[in-house]
Each structure stands twice: as C-alpha cells, then as structure tokens.
C-alpha cells in the first residue's frame, strides 16, 4: 500500500513541479478541525492555461520557491496582475487548471474534547496530497473547485489513502501575501483506532468537512 500510494504522489509531483511560474508562489497550508491531528504542510504547484498553448504552464513553484525559466518557450513574460483579482496573470484567462501537491506533518494538537479527546503526537503523522482543480475568477477574486487525493502514513498506524472534493471559496490579498481558504469534503473522513495511545489514525466511515488556510507569496 505504501509503495503504490507513494508512486501515485510521485507521478503527480512530476506533473506539478517541473515548470516555471509567474505571479504567485504557494508557501504552505495549515489544516485544522479534522478528526485526526492538525497538520501543516509545504505546497508546490502550477497553473495551466486553457487560453494559449505557447504559455500553457504558469505560476509554478516548489515549496513556495519560484522555478527559474529553464524552458523559455513555455515561460510567459511577467504581465501586470489583473486588477479585479490581483492574483491571476491575464495570460491565464478566466478559467484554468490548477495542479497542486503538498507534504504535510502533524502538529502536537489533540482533537476532540473531554472524554472524546484524542492524544496525537507532533511529527508522528505524515500526508502527501495531489489536488487538481479548475480555477476561475470573478468580481470577488480567484476561486477553485476539484478533488483531493491524500496518502497518509505514520509511526502508529498502517498507511492508507483518502479522496474527497476540494473547494477554494475565496482568496484574500494582504500586502505581498495571499491567503486561501480551502475546504475539503470527504465522503469517508478520518477516525481513530479505538484504544490506541498515542492516537492512531485510520480511514473513517462518516462524512467529514475539513478547513485549511493556505498562504501564498506574490513575487
């Protein structure tokens, strides 16, 4: 299971990482209020234009660091950011493909309250993600909707994968930083192995809604 899931993430990362980017660069994301531990991760990604073949791959970065323009034919010149959204280069158009991958690690924050509180240990749970989405812009800014594939592994539990829907309702700009609100909807969320101490994560049976805040740096 670990080997198969790792190959899926590796293939997705190859698609996501090795193209240059202009406009913004994803730094990281904090995921909280899930059945498992809170997690923090580093984000890499690209935006893919439907508008032009020559400038198809844009806004690419690895762990928040913009990739250098190694392939000039695929690299669009830096353009003024559209005033309505402040995060989308005009060469991307009104609708585009967003490819993102993330590497997450758990924080030392328990979930639940009282008798239902679960003792999670920091740096004991790891998650790799691949999130393809359709991005679009409106008068309110940039948005996105798609799916999220998650592969989780750790010291206290057997590795497993989960898949759900992902939405990015809104993006807010403050100085050089862009804050993204990400919502993940899992038909089968996360659960804790009964009697495990420290708490061990497993795939659940119930629907779960998970919130996250992503941080992007404009360059």
| Range from 11-20, 21-30, 122-131, 200-209 carrying the lowest mean pLDDT | 11-20
The DSSP code sequence of 41-88 is EEEEEEEEESS-STT-EEEEEETTEEPP---GGG-PPP-PBPTTTSSS
Over the stretch 185-204, which tens digit does the pLDDT of each residue have? 999 999 888 878 778 889 99
* pLDDT number for residue 73: 45
Residue 218 binned pLDDT confidence (cut-offs 50, 70, 90): low
Over the stretch 56-92, which tens digit does the pLDDT of each residue have? 888 888 887 777 654 444 444 444 444 434 567 777 8
* Residue 105: C-alpha distances to residues 122, 126, 152, 170, 194 (Å): 8, 5, 10, 25, 22
In the chain, domain spans: 2-218
User: Pick from 164, 175, 170: which is nearest to 214 by CA?
Assistant: 170
User: How many CA atoms are closer than 13 Å to the CA of 187, on its beta-carbon side?
Assistant: 6
Name the pTM for this structure.
0.77
Distance, in Å, from the CA atom of 141 to the CA atom of 169, rounded to the nearest integer, reads 9
Do 145 and 133 form a contact (C-beta atoms < 8 A)? yes
Please state, for a pLDDT cut of 90, what percent of the chain lies above it.
35
| Range from 143-147, 168-172, 187-191, 208-212 carrying the lowest mean pLDDT | 168-172
Please state, for a pLDDT cut of 70, what percent of the chain lies above it.
71
Over the stretch 174-188, which tens digit does the pLDDT of each residue have? 877 888 899 999 999
* pLDDT number for residue 25: 53
Residue 102 binned pLDDT confidence (cut-offs 50, 70, 90): very high
> Can you say whether the dihedral through the CA atoms of 95, 71, 131, 143 is positive or negative?
negative
105: pLDDT strictly greater than 60: yes
142: pLDDT strictly greater than 50: yes
Distance, in Å, from the CA atom of 20 to the CA atom of 69, rounded to the nearest integer, reads 5
């Amino acid at each position: 299971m670990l080997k198969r899931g790792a190959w899926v993430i590796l293939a997705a990362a190859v698609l996501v990482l090795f193209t240059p980017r202009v406009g913004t660069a994803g730094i990281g994301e904090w995921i909280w209020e899930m059945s498992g531990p809170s997690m923090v991760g580093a984000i890499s990604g690209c935006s893919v234009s439907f508008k032009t073949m020559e400038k198809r791959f844009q806004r690419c970065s690895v762990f928040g660091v913009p990739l250098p323009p190694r392939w000039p034919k695929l690299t669009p010149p830096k353009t003024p950011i559209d005033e309505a959204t402040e995060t989308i280069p005009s060469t991307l158009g009104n609708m585009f493909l967003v490819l993102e991958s993330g590497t997450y690690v758990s924080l030392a924050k328990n979930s639940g309250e009282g008798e239902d509180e679960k003792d999670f240990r920091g740096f004991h749970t790891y998650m790799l993600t691949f999130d393809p989405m359709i991005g679009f812009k409106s008068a309110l800014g940039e948005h996105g909707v798609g799916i999220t594939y998650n592969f989780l592994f750790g010291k206290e539990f057997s590795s497993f994968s989960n898949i759900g829907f992902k939405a990015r309702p809104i993006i807010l700009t403050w100085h050089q930083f862009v804050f993204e609100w990400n919502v993940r909807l899992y038909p089968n969320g996360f659960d804790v192995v009964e009697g495990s101490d420290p708490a061990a994560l497993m795939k659940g049976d119930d629907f779960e809604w998970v919130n996250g805040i992503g941080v992007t740096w404009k360059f």
